[in-house]
Amino acid sequence: MKRYLAVVLFLAFSLSCFAQDSKEYLACNQKAKAQPELNECARQEADRVDAKLNSLYKQLLAKAASDPNDTAKIKGAERAWVAYRDAYIEAMYPAADKQAEYGSEYLMDVALLTAKLTQQHIADLQELLKQYQN
């Protein structure tokens, strides 16, 4: 019984982690009729969030450009975050043959997890950018 409850809680948590708020994702997802279309909606969502991150990162670098030391630290932190993101995703999906182990939803799940992690990082960069808003 405890194992069953743990599985149910894990699945509920996992689904909430992948919840996406963008109107574009929701509209795409409603039109999707098969898993490949759902995968594409998730990939587009990850791309949209990544574009937002890249724009914010460029703003941050521009604001910090007057101090090469600050710029180097920001770039180092970003490289570390990318390594963390990739390692986290690998830890969530550790199987060698991911498609066989996780099924046709694997691509969608990874794209949505990537979007979620990126959205969290956007919030971090927005906080960092506040330091340069003076």
For residue 96, the domain's CATH number is 1.20.1270.180
With left for phi above 0 and alpha for psi between -120 and 50, is residue 97 left, alpha or beta? beta
Q: Which two tokens stand for residue 77?
A: 């932190």
Does the pTM exceed 0.85?
no
pLDDT band per the 50, 70, 90 thresholds, residue 11: very low
In angstroms, the CA 1 to CA 122 distance is 39
Tell me what the mean pLDDT of segment 114-126 comes to: 97
The model's pLDDT over 27-73, given as tens digits with 9 standing for 90+, comes to 999 999 999 999 999 999 999 999 999 999 999 999 999 999 999 99
| pLDDT at residue number 18 | 47
For the chain, what is the domain count? 1
* Full residue range of the structural domain in which residue 69 is found: 2-130
